């Protein structure tokens, strides 16, 4: 039996440490720890609620925009502001395009190299690679000449010895199984995806002023005027350019992302049996015509809300009152007791209890992470693309069911196979297809709405605090962010924030154990993962990366020590 420590886990945002017990060639126990904390919730306390989104958006530059959206929704819920349709559509276009951008970057640049070995691509025959690529997709860049050029570029790069982000990869690991040709195709698309994501994110500059962190949100709507015929507003030309960019997103997902994903899935079928984890899932629901509110979680949006328990594929309604956060194993202190607190009563008081660095192992019997442990009705749940597609599939949703069923049929898999490491990766890709198309549909809807004469962009009736209801105000903003169910909870007294709590997707998934000793989604999913070589735990990374970890969001944290080298210690 050996104890494996990976700290930090790389190709994630922020600092994540995992400690796993390996016995008989597989993981028998796992602990996930966020190793830094920053305290944005504390920074927000005492501020003007109308400014909250500007600060909250800085929680993360990866899922940029999502915290702005959840924040304005929370304050709007509290003060009773209702954003007009144009604002809702603009926000949803920004959010949907962020999902496409984020998922493409995650697949190619943060996850693909767990399945793709670029060093193996040197042995590929570019002509055969072209034939293979043309057999799975009509992407125009699948030529022997292009693959030969990419291979030469790769060879020069690898032989230079200065391989930057490819340093310390587990190249040649026996768990890599793609053909040299498929490795070459995937590596070529890794490069193409760099160009794609740079061009695609221009949508945020056109609609929100810049990326990351678009600047045009406001409590009650958006700050950017919209008028098809005005030079001083988002106009017909802007929307045409946005639609052209979003259309290229549909093409990239159809011609590149999904064919690569299904080729990889076909080569690693046993990964539908690893990484299942909790089997319980939670979705708030989003992309609905009615703004999500605490009393009325949306069931009519692109993503229907719901909760799945224990792999049942039966969906129960999501109840916002079910959320509470435990700090039993987290470096936080609650005033009264360690009992879990619902977010409006939440407290953010950091309290590091050791061990003092440098240390070999976390005190997993005590406190061991800067993440709280959010639970739904006391239950640990997984959030994210897989949760969203499982809920939609189980509810027989008109858009989600056929999308998922088509992929299952092509891969000859039963629905239960989705509850796995590979299923999580597959769900993210399928969701990208859904979001790419939805963003385009939203642009058409926005254009039609503005053409009909509706130029309203913000509800200013609740702008001044004197217009707000009396007494203590509470609000919640829900959003289905790329990594899953995101909620911001605000308590306002007078014209100031008295309490602000963000309960974030990666906090759900990377959560430490709760007071009952129940593990979070990463911890549960790692159990049973094979480890062929404890010095090179590639398989552990596959399952961790399948969640797309973002510790910056999860702990609202900040990198202080700049350490970027994987340390693997075997004891
Ligand atoms: Ni920093 Fe984020 C998303 C949020 S994840 S990436 O998606 O909220 O926890
Ligand atoms: Mg929080």
DSSP string, 418-472: GSSHHHHHHHHHHHHHHHHHHHHHHHHHHHHHHHTT----B-GGG-SGGGSPSS-
Residue 347 assigned ligand-binding role: no
pLDDT tier at 144, thresholds 50, 70, 90: very high
Cβ within 8 Å of residue 231, ≥6 positions away: none
Query: Would you say residue 188 has pLDDT above 60?
Result: yes
Q: Tell me if 436 CB under 6 Å of ligand 1.
A: no
Q: Are 186 and 264 in contact (CB under 8 A)?
A: yes
Distance CA 513, CA 30 (A): 10
Q: Tell me if 504 CB under 6 Å of ligand 1.
A: yes
pLDDT tier at 568, thresholds 50, 70, 90: low
Angstrom CA distances, 490 to 75, 152, 391, 494, stand at 7, 55, 28, 13
Residue 29 assigned ligand-binding role: no
Q: Tell me if 30 CB under 6 Å of ligand 1.
A: no
Q: Which of 380, 374, 369 is nearest to 33 (CA)?
A: 369
Q: Which of 34, 43, 39 is nearest to 8 (CA)?
A: 34
Q: What percent of the chain has pLDDT over 70?
A: 96
For residue 392, the CA-to-ligand 2 centroid distance in Å is 27
Q: Are 442 and 98 in contact (CB under 8 A)?
A: no
| Helices 180-200, 236-252: inter-axial angle, 10-degree rounding | 170
Average pLDDT over residues 327-338: 93
- In tens, the pLDDT along 364-386 reads 999 999 999 999 999 999 999 99
Pairing mode, if any, of strands 16-23 and 26-34?
antiparallel
Determine whether 25 is exposed, middle or buried from the number of CB atoms within 10 Å of its CB (0-12, 13-18, 19+).
exposed
Q: Tell me if 13 CB under 6 Å of ligand 1.
A: yes
Atom of ligand 1 nearest to the CA of 479: 8
Query: Would you say residue 569 has pLDDT above 80?
Result: no
Answer with the residue of higher pLDDT: 294 or 489. Answer: 489
Q: Which of 477, 491, 562 is nearest to 71 (CA)?
A: 477
Distance CA 479, CA 212 (A): 18
Query: Would you say residue 560 has pLDDT above 80?
Result: no
Residue 41 assigned ligand-binding role: yes
- In tens, the pLDDT along 400-438 reads 999 999 999 999 999 999 999 999 999 999 999 999 999
DSSP H helices, 161-257, are 180-200, 202-208, 236-252
pLDDT at site 556: 56
Q: Tell me if 98 CB under 6 Å of ligand 1.
A: no
Query: Would you say residue 571 has pLDDT above 70?
Result: no
pLDDT at site 140: 97
Atom of ligand 1 nearest to the CA of 552: 1
Residue 15 assigned ligand-binding role: no
Element spanning 266, H or E: helix 258-267
For residue 535, the CA-to-ligand 1 centroid distance in Å is 30
Weakest-pLDDT range from 298-307, 335-344, 354-363, 551-560? 551-560
Distance CA 466, CA 498 (A): 17
pLDDT tier at 298, thresholds 50, 70, 90: low
Q: Tell me if 486 CB under 6 Å of ligand 1.
A: yes
- In tens, the pLDDT along 273-297 reads 999 999 999 999 999 987 656 656 6
Distance CA 477, CA 74 (A): 4
User: Which pair of structure tokens corresponds to residue 509?
Assistant: 């998934």
Average pLDDT over residues 244-259: 98
Q: Are 475 and 106 in contact (CB under 8 A)?
A: no
Q: Please give the domain boundaries of the chain with CATH numbers for all domains.
A: 2-554 (1.10.645.10)
Q: Tell me if 66 CB under 6 Å of ligand 1.
A: yes
3-state secondary structure of 302: coil
Sheet strand arrangement including 306-308: 281-283, 306-308, 315-316
Q: Are 535 and 541 in contact (CB under 8 A)?
A: no
Residue 63 assigned ligand-binding role: yes
For residue 53, the CA-to-ligand 2 centroid distance in Å is 15
Q: Which of 25, 98, 23, 5 is nearest to 550 (CA)?
A: 98
Atom of ligand 1 nearest to the CA of 14: 1
pLDDT tier at 151, thresholds 50, 70, 90: very high
Average pLDDT over residues 169-185: 96
For residue 284, the CA-to-ligand 1 centroid distance in Å is 15
pLDDT tier at 554, thresholds 50, 70, 90: confident
Q: Tell me if 475 CB under 6 Å of ligand 1.
A: no
Residue 13 assigned ligand-binding role: no
């Amino acid at each position: 039996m050996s104890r494996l420590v990976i700290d930090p886990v790389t190709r994630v945002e922020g600092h994540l440490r995992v400690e796993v017990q390996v016995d008989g060639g597989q993981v028998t126990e796992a602990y996930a720890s966020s190793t830094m904390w920053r305290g944005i919730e504390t920074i927000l306390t005492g501020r003007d609620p109308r400014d909250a989104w500007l600060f909250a958006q800085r929680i993360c530059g990866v899922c940029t925009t999502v915290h702005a959206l959840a924040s304005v929704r929370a304050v709007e819920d509290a003060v009773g502001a209702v954003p007009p349709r144009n604002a809702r559509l603009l926000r949803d276009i920004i959010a949907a395009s962020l999902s496409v951008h984020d998922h493409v970057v995650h697949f190619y640049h943060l996850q693909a190299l767990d399945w793709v070995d670029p060093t193996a691509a040197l042995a590929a025959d570019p002509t055969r690679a072209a034939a293979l690529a043309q057999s799975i997709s009509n992407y125009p860049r699948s030529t022997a000449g292009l693959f030969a050029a990419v291979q030469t570029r790769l060879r020069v790069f690898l032989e230079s010895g200065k391989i930057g982000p490819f340093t310390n990869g587990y190249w040649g690991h026996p768990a890599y199984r793609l053909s040299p040709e498929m490795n070459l195709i995937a590596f070529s698309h890794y490069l193409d995806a760099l160009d794609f994501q740079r061009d695609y994110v221009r949508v945020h500059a056109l609609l929100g002023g810049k990326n990351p962190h678009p600047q045009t949100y406001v409590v009650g709507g958006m700050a950017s005027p919209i008028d098809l015929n005005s030079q001083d507003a988002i106009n017909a030309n802007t929307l045409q350019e946005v639609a052209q960019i979003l259309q290229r997103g549909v093409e990239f997902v159809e011609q590149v992302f999904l064919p690569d994903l299904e080729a990889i899935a076909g080569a690693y079928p046993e990964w539908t049996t690893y990484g299942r984890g909790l089997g319980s899932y939670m979705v708030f629901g989003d992309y609905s015509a009615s703004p999500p509110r605490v009393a009325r979680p949306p069931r009519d949006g692109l993503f229907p809300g719901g909760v799945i328990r224990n792999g049942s594929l039966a969906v129960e309604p999501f109840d916002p009152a079910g959320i509470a956060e435990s700090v039993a194993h987290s470096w936080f202190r609650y005033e009264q007791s360690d009992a879990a607190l619902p977010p409006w009563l939440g407290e953010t008081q950091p309290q590091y209890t050791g061990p003092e660095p440098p240390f070999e192992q976390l005190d997993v019997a005590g406190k061991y992470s800067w993440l709280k442990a959010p639970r739904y009705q006391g239950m640990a749940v997984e959030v994210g693309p897989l949760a969203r597609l499982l809920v939609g599939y189980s509810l027989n949703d008109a858009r989600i069911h056929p999308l998922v069923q088509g992929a299952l049929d092509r891969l000859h898999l039963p629905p239960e196979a989705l509850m796995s490491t590979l299923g999580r990766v597959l769900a993210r890709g399928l969701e990208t297809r859904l979001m790419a198309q939805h963003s385009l549909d939203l642009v058409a809807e926005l254009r039609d709405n503005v053409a009909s004469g509706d130029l309203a962009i913000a509800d200013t009736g609740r702008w001044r605090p004197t217009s707000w209801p009396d007494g203590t105000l509470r609000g919640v903003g829900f959003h289905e962010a790329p990594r899953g169910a995101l909620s911001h909870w605000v308590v306002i007294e007078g014209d100031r924030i008295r309490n602000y709590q963000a309960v974030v997707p990666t906090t759900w998934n990377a959560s430490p154990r709760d007071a009952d000793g129940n593990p979070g989604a990463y911890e549960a999913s790692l159990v049973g993962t094979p480890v062929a070589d404890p010095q090179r735990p590639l398989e552990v990374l596959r399952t961790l990366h399948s969640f797309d970890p973002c510790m910056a969001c999860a702990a609202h944290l900040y990198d202080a020590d700049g350490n970027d080298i994987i340390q693997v210690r075997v004891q």
